[in-house]
Amino acid sequence: MNILLLGSGGREHALAWKMSQSHHCDTLLIAPGNAGTAAFGKNMPFGVNDFEAIKKCCIQEKIGMLVVGPEDPLVNGIYDFFQNDSLLQHITVVAPSKAAAQLEGSKAFSKKFMARQGIPTAAYAEFTEENYDEGKKYIAAHSLPVVLKADGLAAGKGVIIAQTTEEALQSFEEMILGKQFGEASRKVVVEAFLTGIEVSVFILTDGVDYQIIGHAKDYKRIGEGDTGLNTGGMGCVSPVPFMDAAFMQKVIDRIINPTVKGLAKENLNYHGFIFFGLMNTNGEPWVIEYNCRLGDPETEVVLPRLQTDLVSLFAAMDNGTLADTNINFDERSCATIMAVSGGYPGDYQKNKLIQGLESPINKDSIVFHAGTKIAENGVLTNGGRVLAITSYGATINEAVKKSKISMDQISFEGMYYRRDIGYEFQ
Ligand code: AMP
Ligand code: GLY
């Protein structure tokens, strides 16, 4: 089967790496891809939201499966676009419908869904310009810290954790009246702050059955010791030591099962991944957010541990046999460390030559490209997050050590990475 993969990050390099191992994968195309994905297939010169170009490519290249990496095309309705076109209907699309993608596309939608299905999540209220004054009163009376979330997609920047009422009111004004995130912050969700340790769980579902394909802990802050600004993710580890059988059973009973049952009950057509962003509060799981895709860099530790053929899993999802498939995991731990451009998550420069990519690295390490591109003189940086090095180890500690050794073989001007990924599990 010919497969088209949409996206250009480390997640997509990991997906390309994994899918290309399947004997069901003939030609792999990646749009737009990066310097790393080019080793597993052909990069295509169109973007993830260019549905007409995607359609043309699917017809010309006889694509049998579309795998969508990032959230934008999901929320923009790529699944419905394929279902409503007689030339594309036969293609297996790994994506939720536009209506179901609101679980990620609208925080207010996901909060209401969780309330209807009795899924544990922080108490909240939603506000727009129409009930702005009511919102100010709600915030003024709220305990601290208080969490403000732009309703729509805001490229990971739409969440503010305010430590003071003043700061919360100012952010509320900027979001709603100042239209800080445009249409995305027309509506704002104000919610209670949850304390604990975050963990992400990933499932693949056909809207009836599901399989858990892994979990991970992400390190979001730029600085060591979890300090400084939030980023897209600076590293991940899997498995997470506190995800024992008892905690996982609570996640299954209270969160995963009611979510999948809720999708069916509410006729939300779903054929894809669900990323449960969870908080472990004294051993009890709460949902912070849903995403309709895999995480980045979570994918860079989840897929290396998944031994099951991913393309077969997608086919099982499509033909209703997901419940009959076996999922196997590599027993070893995985850690990934992200190298970023100097200045990220603020302003940074691109087009820096990456050195050391050709030298042999530890057999237990894999270099996943994120923001990279191929040029005449070699591979250049092309984004804030540049590459992630994943390693296997008997323990998280050992995996992190191997990734750091491999990382030290690679360099580019301004390169930075956190040396303390997995610090609390040492
Ligand atoms: P999100 O964009 O929803 O992933 O939120 C970004 C980050 O903000 C999350 O990964 C958490 O670290 C934090 N966060 C969001 N909501 C809450 C909450 N209710 N309590 C504590 N932290 C939160
Ligand atoms: N690493 C967090 C995310 O992919 O949303």
The reported pLDDT for the residue numbered 206 is 97
Let me know whether 320 and 206 are in one domain: yes
Q: Domain for residue 111, yes or no?
A: no
Let me know whether 204 and 297 are in one domain: yes
The set of protein residues with a Cβ atom below 6 angstroms from ligand 1 is: 122, 147, 156, 159, 191, 193-194, 198, 277, 288-289
By residue range, what is the domain housing residue 400? 333-425
Q: Ligand 1: which of 199, 229, 278, 288 to mutate, most ligand atoms within 8 Å of CB?
A: 288
The reported pLDDT for the residue numbered 360 is 81
Let me know whether 184 and 271 are in one domain: no
What CATH number has the domain bearing residue 268?
Answer: 3.30.470.20
Q: Domain for residue 39, yes or no?
A: yes
Residue ID of nearest Cα to ligand 2 atom 5: 295
Let me know whether 201 and 319 are in one domain: yes
Let me know whether 252 and 366 are in one domain: no
Contact 91/65 with Cβ under 8 angstroms? yes
What CATH number has the domain bearing residue 72?
Answer: 3.40.50.20
What is the number of structural domains in the chain?
4
The reported pLDDT for the residue numbered 155 is 81
Closest listed ligand to the CA of 154: 1
Residue that finishes a domain, picked among 192, 213, 235 = 192
The reported pLDDT for the residue numbered 183 is 85
Let me know whether 262 and 366 are in one domain: no
Reported as type and span, the H/E element at residue 214 is strand 210-218
Residue ID of nearest Cα to ligand 2 atom 2: 295
Let me know whether 205 and 315 are in one domain: yes
Q: Domain for residue 420, yes or no?
A: yes
Q: Domain for residue 105, yes or no?
A: no
pLDDT band of 178, cuts 50, 70, 90 = confident
pLDDT band of 426, cuts 50, 70, 90 = confident
The reported pLDDT for the residue numbered 123 is 95
Q: Domain for residue 118, yes or no?
A: no
Contact 237/426 with Cβ under 8 angstroms? no
Tell me the per-residue pLDDT of 316-370, one tens digit each, with 9 for 90 and over: 999 999 999 999 999 999 999 999 999 999 999 999 999 999 888 899 999 999 9
Q: Domain for residue 290, yes or no?
A: yes
30-44, 182-196, 340-354, 376-390: least confidently modelled range: 182-196
Report, as an integer, the average pLDDT of 48-52.
98
Let me know whether 241 and 296 are in one domain: yes
Let me know whether 339 and 419 are in one domain: yes
The reported pLDDT for the residue numbered 182 is 84
Determine the distance separating the centroid of ligand 1 and the alpha carbon of 149, expressed in angstroms. Answer: 9
Residue that finishes a domain, picked among 192, 211, 232 = 192
Buried b (16+ CB within 10 A) or exposed e, 182-200: eebbebbbbbeebebeebb
- 156 has pLDDT over 80: no
Let me know whether 71 and 133 are in one domain: no
The predicted model scores a pTM of: 0.96
pLDDT band of 79, cuts 50, 70, 90 = very high
Closest listed ligand to the CA of 231: 2
Residue that finishes a domain, picked among 42, 76, 95 = 95
Let me know whether 188 and 201 are in one domain: no
Let me know whether 371 and 390 are in one domain: yes
% residues pLDDT > 70 (the chain) = 100
pLDDT band of 84, cuts 50, 70, 90 = very high
Buried b (16+ CB within 10 A) or exposed e, 268-299: bbbbbbbbbbbbbeeeebbbbbbbbbbbbbbb
- 197 has pLDDT over 90: yes
